[in-house]
A and B are shown apart, each in its own frame.
Chain A
Amino acid sequence: METNDLIKALATDTRRQGLPLGRAWIAALVVAVLVAAVVFFALLGPRPDAGAALSTVRFVFKFIVTVALAVAAYRLAVAVSRPGGNWRAALSGLLVAPLLLVLSVLLELVAVPSTSWAARLIGTNSMVCLTFVPLIGVIPLVVLLLAMRHGAPVNATAAGAVSGLLAGGIAAAFYAAHCPDDSPLFVAVWYPLAIAILVSLGALLGRFFLRW
């Protein structure tokens, strides 16, 4: 088939086209958050004193850092899903959550005596965190990979990993409402590990699922 013949066929197929990518991403984000909410309330639910805890800075900070991660990961996900998208500009936003975390750890080290550092870091819920953050995030990850596949990411593995990061940020924000461990020392160790499981899974799935 000559190239001109192919062009004739493509031009004849003008009417059928996909949902604009920007709208697809918004839809995927809404569905991912809703699914995460349903799984969270079905499996865990918020801790009993969540309402009162909202007046403590450590509890609230867990949401600030996880939502900051999710927002940055979302912007990066949208950028990497477009050919020629400006992902470098979106990359710097990913620094916000780690910097907040480092800052909070430093403040915590100043605020509490060194004798209680280890206990706060180990916490009581690390295995629950490592289990349930991936569990809350895995279906949202699939939803986000579908949006990514609707796009055209030139690096399938990286696009999968970014989807995992976004799913991880969403899942961790919900999990934070359940977890009794509020110390930044706990958050800085276990949350990234739990999110890394979703990032790895996303990268692995992306490698096979996001080719085009």
Chain B
Amino acid sequence: MDKADERSLERMLVAAIEGDERAYFAFLEAVAKLVRTWLRRKVTYGSLDVEDVVQETLLAIHLKRHTWRSDEPVRPWIFAIANHKLIDAFRRHGRQPLADSPALEEVEAEEPEVLQSWEIDRALQVLTPGQRSVVTAVSIEGSSIQETARDLGMKETAVRVALHRGLAAIARRFGRT
């Protein structure tokens, strides 16, 4: 990534902070790619799933985006957050050393149906039912705020509040469930 890409990332984030959802979507996609590539170089062995750390980093960037100052470069900020979350993930995994993890057969026996079980899905389970249905509708089903409000019989502001609180709760519980 060169200077021009860095500038375009910064422009996207500035637009996002001013409320441009599409710019924010593009920004987060670019950040996910950037962080995923960086993590794959850093995490070369062990049981840590890179995608978990990507997701946790995206959540942290979202909830802490008011800590970025538009007059400073965005990449050091992104990677400081990613590094913080990577260290956190290493620390958690350190508590469950590989030797103690169950044998492969047991894992398969416990989770026969689930193809991929990510940390975020476990964190999703601790939300209130209302928050969970809003977060699921907006993420997995890809509904808009308006569609979600109509489908769930809620006010739009209530949907926004539930979404925001739900995401904050996921970030708090991430990897700790």
A: residues with CB less than 8 A from B are: 1, 3-22, 24, 81-84, 150-152, 154, 212
Contact = CB atoms under 8 A, between A and B. Distances in A.
A116 to B, nearest CB: 51
Contact of A7 (B20, B32, B69, B80): B32
25 contacts: A1-B140, A3-B51, A5-B139, A6-B58, A6-B139, A7-B29, A7-B58, A9-B163, A10-B59, A11-B25, A13-B167, A14-B16, A16-B160, A17-B17, A17-B65, A18-B66, A19-B66, A21-B69, A82-B69, A82-B77, A83-B77, A84-B72, A152-B60, A152-B64, A154-B84
Given A14-B16, A83-B64, A151-B67, A3 B32 contact: yes
A87 to B, nearest CB: 11
Contacts of B118: 1
Contact of A14 (B20, B60, B120, B144): B20
User: Top 3 A-B pairs ranked by shortest CB distance?
Assistant: A83-B80, A84-B80, A84-B76
A9 B28 CA distance: 11
Interface of B: 16-17, 19-22, 24-25, 28-29, 32, 51, 54-55, 58-60, 62-69, 72, 76-77, 79-81, 83-84, 118, 120-121, 124, 135, 138-140, 142, 144-145, 160, 163-164, 167
Contacts of B65: 17-18
